[in-house]
Amino acid sequence: MTSLVMAKQMIKRFYSKYEAFVLPIIKFLIGLICLSVINKRLGYMSQLNSFVIVLMVALMCSFMPLNFTVFVAALFVLGHIYKLSLECLLVVGALFLILFLLYFRFSPKDTIAVLLTPICFILKIPYVMPIAAGLLGTPASAISVGCGVIVYYVLEAIIGGAGSINSLADEEMTTRLKFVIDTVLNNKPMLAFVCAFGITIVIVYVIRRLKITYSWYIAIGVGVLADIVLLLIFDLIFDTHVSGGNMILGSVVAIIVGIILTFLFFHVDYARTEKLQFEDDEYYYYVKAIPKVTVPGTQKKVKKINSTKKKGQSPSGNS
């Protein structure tokens, strides 16, 4: 454990020292991964599938705020959907506009949650997001995660219905538009995950803020259990056919990720908890102090040995 704490402290010091270089690299990788995933899942517009285009846009994202990456990713999605169908573009564009208004109004700082939620769904571990957002975010993070869930299911609905949409090319625009709206919005699993994840984020946040011992670990356990129960309840209500195997595997991964986040951001020593009392002219203050787990750095002392002898002085020190 000591070696892990030392490694964490070294990483923190390295990041603090070279933040100006590390942060753009992280933004570049996030942009590159997101745009590559969009092109792989959709890929209807060949111009956007060019690796050179993706690389150049990812480089632009590395020097811009993360919200710019969200905006660019939305443009890539709309570009591919435009190539598929104008009706899809109208429906998804209107939906994205609503999501952007909600996101920028309530949780503009949770950009990473919006970007990672669809990726976690693709990796079959979406259950990580409500736990991570509840530990590191606020109840408003439910909006960011919810936006990510909606984006994923909308794109999956478009991909799954692409053949049917193309087959309606000879129909009236109103008929095609109605079909697209039904395909995109009539999605019961999307509603189930949005509700379950939102409630789970609030539960995890409330518990980890409690003034109890091991609150973060309790929040992880209760959050994972609540997420499973809620999804099972919504499965009975909406008949969403949630995969039990993926749920169990994703929940185990969520617990592991939660423990890692606790170690990185809230690693404290409860055995050395102190309760202190202060007072001034108007108030008494009762403070519960829990020290962080740290390893003191070793200080190297350099002893300078001067071998130069005074002129005329013998080795024994006698003249």
What are the CA-CA distances from residue 268 to residues 11, 132, 168, 274, 293 (Å)?
A: 18, 18, 60, 12, 5
Q: How many CB atoms lie within 10 A of CB 37?
A: 17
Instruction: Report angle CA 95, 190, 257 to the nearest 5 degrees.
Output: 110
pLDDT-derived band at 281 (thresholds 50, 70, 90) equals confident
pTM: predicted TM-score of the whole model, two decimal places: 0.83
Q: Would you say residue 240 has pLDDT above 90?
A: no
Taking the C-alpha atoms of residue 192 and residue 126, their distance in angstroms, rounded to an integer, is 13
Q: How many CB atoms lie within 10 A of CB 76?
A: 21
Q: Would you say residue 169 has pLDDT above 60?
A: yes
184-238 pLDDT, tens digit per residue, is 777 888 889 999 999 999 999 999 998 888 899 999 999 999 999 999 998 888 8
Nearest to 80 by CA among 34, 126, 49, 104: 49
87-135 pLDDT, tens digit per residue, is 888 888 888 898 888 888 888 888 888 989 999 999 889 999 999 999 9
28-86 pLDDT, tens digit per residue, is 999 999 999 999 988 888 888 889 999 999 999 999 998 899 999 999 999 998 888 88
- Per-residue b or e along 109-122, where b marks 16 or more CB atoms closer than 10 Å to that residue's CB: ebbbbbbbbbbbbe
Region 271-296: mean pLDDT is: 80
Predicted local confidence at residue 308, as pLDDT? 53
Taking the C-alpha atoms of residue 207 and residue 131, their distance in angstroms, rounded to an integer, is 12
Report the Cα 44 to chain-centroid distance in Å: 27
Predicted local confidence at residue 120, as pLDDT? 92
Of the listed ranges 161-165, 219-223, 258-262, 301-305, the one predicted with least confidence = 301-305
Q: Would you say residue 277 has pLDDT above 80?
A: yes
Rounded to the nearest 10°, the torsion over CA 161, 162, 167, 168 is 70
Only one residue has tokens 């008929």, namely 175
- Per-residue b or e along 214-239, where b marks 16 or more CB atoms closer than 10 Å to that residue's CB: ebbbebbebbbebbbebbbebbeebe
Question: Phi/psi of residue 279, each to 5°?
Answer: -155, 155
268: DSSP letter: B
